Amino acid sequence: MMKDAAPKTIYLEDYTPFGYVVESVHLTFHLAPTATRVVSRIAFAPNPDATDGTFLLHGEDLTLIRARIDGEEITPDLTEDGLRCAVPDTPFIWEAEVEISPQTNTALEGLYMSNGMYCTQCEAEGFRKITYYPDRPDVMSIFTVRIEGEEKVKLSNGNPVGSGAGWAEWHDPWPKPAYLFALVAGDLVNHPDRFTTMSGKDVDLNIWVRPGDEDKCAFGMEALKKSMTWDEEVYGREYDLNIFNIVAVDDFNMGAMENKGLNVFNSSCVLASPETSTDSNFERIEAIIAHEYFHNWTGNRITCRDWFQLCLKEGLTVFRDSQFTADMRSEPVKRISDVIDLRARQFPEDQGPLSHPVRPESFQEINNFYTATIYEKGAEVIGMLKTLVGDDAYSRALDLYFDRHDGQACTIEDWLAVFEDATGRDLAQFKLWYSQSGTPRVAVSEDWTDGVYTLTFKQHTPPTPGQDVKDPKVIPIAVGLLNPNGDEVVPTRVLEMTQAEQSFAFDGLASKPVPSILRGFSAPIVVDREVSREERAFLLAHDTDAFNRWEANRNLARDCLVAMIRDGAGPDNAWLDGLERVIRDDSLDPAFRALMLSLPTQSEMAQVLFDLFTVPDPDAIWQASEDLRGHMAVAWQGFLPDLRATVAVDAPYAPDADQAGKRSLGSALLALQTRLDGGAAAQAQYGAADNMTLQLSALSQLISAGKGDAAVKAFEDQWHHDRLVMDKWFGLQVGMAKPDVAVDVAQRLVQHPAFDMGNPNRFRAVMGGFAMNHAGFHRKDGEGYAFLADWLIALDDRNPQTTARMCSVFQTWKRYDTNRQGLIRAQLERIKAKPKLSRDTDEMVSRILG
Ligand code: ARG
Ligand code: ZN
């Protein structure tokens, strides 16, 4: 729907069941790039649970060739959103034939073509671009699919039931909503394997790729088998078809999609090799393969009643994939990384104009709600629930969930009810985490009187769009106490805060303890507490909780940068001495030490300053970050090269946590060393690198030292044929550019022959990389904003989803000075005024403008 029509808002409270059940679906595809014919034969019956008998089939961009009911030709009413017609009040057969054009489908939603290959993306509402259908997740049915075409490989959901010259047929025995439908056809090659499930069933596994990419599948396949085993062992969930297919697609709007038995992946989220992928790529691929696989139970076998319940599957599946990564790798490192990510992506969302509850109550375009709040805060909410009820009760509740709801389309109420029934606990207050948006802030004060130590917490959630007043939530606050010698005197205990203000007393202590609050980041909140540098330094040295040790350091780093930016102070040497002890402590995991060494991002500092009622100046933040790094390099020059040598990896490259941790500490140290040697060590590393992790970290240091030209050119010569590697090349140059030239670099990159705005990965590499260059993007004269807006306007007709998503880089605009706010507002208004702006982008820009 285009903006000339009034944008329509959908409300959770308006939910009603569909008037018909779908007993079976038969689809036949006659593939042709610009004229694919889709023939559907659908058995409908009146739904005894429904009150509204309107027969509405969704449809978009379809050419209806014919429609029949029980064999009789009919002429339905066609509207912008689909088709309506009179139907019998007894079971009937619907038949239709439509024509669609995959080749010209640049929105990458529905059936489209990528590099000559047919593929689909139906979540959330893409199936309606394939044929007329009740495209809503509570309508589940059994699909049989026949594909006719000359492509070598033709795949759909479920099990293969037959194939011959020019055709293939698939049958999926598990009822599913249309958003889980998938079809892939093309000249693909596979990387095959097998898996035997816990009950002894053999499953064929395949990763399908374009010829030439076969050698990049082995890691993904191992990740898949690990995921299958883990879900059996930890959740008791077994796979339920004879075959599991994964396909890599180059042009894809998101990461990956859990279509039943036929997961479709952005090639960047599945293809991996040491030469072309970094350690972080490997870890991310392992997590995404697990995520999509885990959806088979949390998403597919049990799905969502409506899209307001999206967190039911996404929050839970993110929570499950985080548990998996913690088990496969390092638990504290995973936790710290998740919190860094939550604060970088979800906190700005929850504290700005796009703030929405984990379960939203209205939307215009559901694609705009695949957000960090639904996914990552949704996972945090489940983590809190598990903390509150305990591990055993969590397992019992999950067993009950799978037992009770298998084959159903469910709600958050169903989800909470299994926890209430398994534990006897009343979760009415807990449910506020699903309905109230915003990040709660918890102020902490302490008292030490007559040998009793008391912590008092006050919670407050600032107003968010549509929600001025908030009720107190249940907040699990994990706390431990240390005595002044640094020994833990009270091990971690979860304080359950339920009131607006609440105190917790500890007695039997010999001396006033030092508290370690919100251990493991036990709730997605902001803790407001005045803490002295000495106390933070004490926790940095002694806390037994790895997360809070990291957190103490983070706070010291933030305080140091604030003092440098705001008060013109010098770096905090006492902190740096404490940090030095940690990073030189070889009993600690190198990955953890690397996290300790990473400074707050410039965007994070902008928020910190804003919270201190100081208007952030991006140039000053950039300068202070540079000065601090320079100071660290000089202060530590005596040991940097030696320390870096201790984490050098001699063994052949492996993407495991151990080696990856060493390389990540090595690369953090290289960044400092480069400030001393002007790029000599980086140049040496670049020359010797036999894997992408080392090559890329060296390249990024050379660029930041202003010595990157030759390496940038050499890298392009070496990798111009590899799209995924070239995405890194694009992103790195604009991301690492000095702020005053970032816009020029971005402008140069979009002129490069390999820049292709139709490919979402490439578009995001440049535009996302540019927006991450905080001071470059926020250039005072507004050129950065104008550049990005130009490209959003250019992409909107072609690909609304990717355009709308990229708009969120403007969501933090109210942090900045009035001049910059004016410049951003002007660009947002310019986007909004674009003729025929998509519904996706229109909704995003309107919400950001507020
Ligand atoms: N369900 C997919 C996942 O695993 C993502 C689908 C995103 N869809 C969208 N329209 N943005 O997370
Ligand atoms: Zn998901």
Following DSSP, what letter does each residue of 651-662 receive, concatenated? Answer: SPP--SHHHHHH
DSSP 813-845: GGGS-HHHHHHHHHHHHHHHTSTT-BHHHHHHH
First-to-last alpha carbon distance for the chain, in angstroms, is: 22
Is pTM beyond 0.95? Reply is yes
How far, in Å, CA of 438 to CA of 440, rounded? Answer: 6
What is the mean pLDDT of the segment spanning 47-56?
96
Q: Cβ(283) to ligand 1 under 6 A?
A: no
Beta-bridge mates of residue 57: 83
Mean pLDDT of the chain: 98
How far, in Å, CA of 186 to CA of 147, rounded? Answer: 12
Question: What are the pLDDT digits (tens) for 390-447?
Answer: 999 999 999 999 999 999 999 999 999 999 999 999 999 999 999 999 999 999 999 9
Please say if the pLDDT value at position 1 is more than 80. Answer: no
Name the residue with the closest Cα to ligand 1, atom 5.
257
Residues classed as catalytic: 292
Tokens of 700: 């990024």
Q: Which of 288, 370, 840 to mutate to test the pocket of ligand 1 (most atoms within 8 A of CB)?
A: 370
| Residue 593 neighbours by CB under 8 Å, 6+ apart | 582, 583, 585, 665
Tokens of 236: 């008791």
* Nearest residue to 318 via CA among 524, 94, 104: 524
Q: Cβ(95) to ligand 1 under 6 A?
A: no
What is the mean pLDDT of the segment spanning 16-27?
98
DSSP 193-234: EEEE-TTS-EEEEEEEE-TT-GGG-HHHHHHHHHHHHHHHHH
* Closest ligand by atom to 179 CA: 1
Q: What single DSSP character describes residue 445?
A: E
**Predicted local distance difference test score (pLDDT) of residue 64:** 98
Q: Which of 123, 270, 304 to mutate to test the pocket of ligand 1 (most atoms within 8 A of CB)?
A: 123
Q: What confidence category does residue 169 fall into, taking pLDDT thresholds of 50, 70 and 90?
A: very high
Q: Cβ(367) to ligand 1 under 6 A?
A: yes
How far, in Å, CA of 771 to CA of 764, rounded? Answer: 10
Q: Cβ(219) to ligand 1 under 6 A?
A: no
Q: For residues 317 and 299, is the Cβ–Cβ distance under 8 A?
A: yes
Give SS3 for 758. Answer: coil
Q: Is 550 exposed, middle or buried (0-12, 13-18, 19+ CB in 10 A)?
A: buried
How far, in Å, CA of 441 to CA of 458, rounded? Answer: 8
Give SS3 for 237. Answer: coil
Name the residue with the closest Cα to ligand 1, atom 2.
257
Q: For residues 779 and 811, is the Cβ–Cβ distance under 8 A?
A: no
Q: Which long-range contacts (CB under 8 A, 24 or more apart) does 686-690 make?
A: 686/711, 690/274, 690/275, 690/653
**Predicted local distance difference test score (pLDDT) of residue 88:** 97
| Residue 424 neighbours by CB under 8 Å, 6+ apart | none
What is the mean pLDDT of the segment spanning 343-354?
98
Cα angle 64, 306, 390; round to 5 = 150
Q: What confidence category does residue 2 fall into, taking pLDDT thresholds of 50, 70 and 90?
A: very low
**Predicted local distance difference test score (pLDDT) of residue 3:** 41
Determine the atom of ligand 1 nearest the C-alpha atom of 288. Answer: 4
Above pLDDT 70, what percent of the chain? 99
Above pLDDT 90, what percent of the chain? 99
How far, in Å, CA of 162 to CA of 288, rounded? Answer: 31
Question: What are the pLDDT digits (tens) for 192-242?
Answer: 999 999 999 999 999 999 999 999 999 999 999 999 999 999 999 999 999
Q: Cβ(250) to ligand 1 under 6 A?
A: no
Mean pLDDT is lowest, of 6-15, 61-70, 706-715, 720-729, for 6-15
Helix axes 590-597, 657-677, angle to 10 degrees: 40
Name the residue with the closest Cα to ligand 1, atom 4.
257
Beta-bridge mates of residue 211: none
**Predicted local distance difference test score (pLDDT) of residue 7:** 80
**Predicted local distance difference test score (pLDDT) of residue 5:** 57
What is the mean pLDDT of the segment spanning 569-578?
98
Determine the atom of ligand 1 nearest the C-alpha atom of 370. Answer: 11
Question: What are the pLDDT digits (tens) for 283-312?
Answer: 999 999 999 999 999 999 999 999 999 999
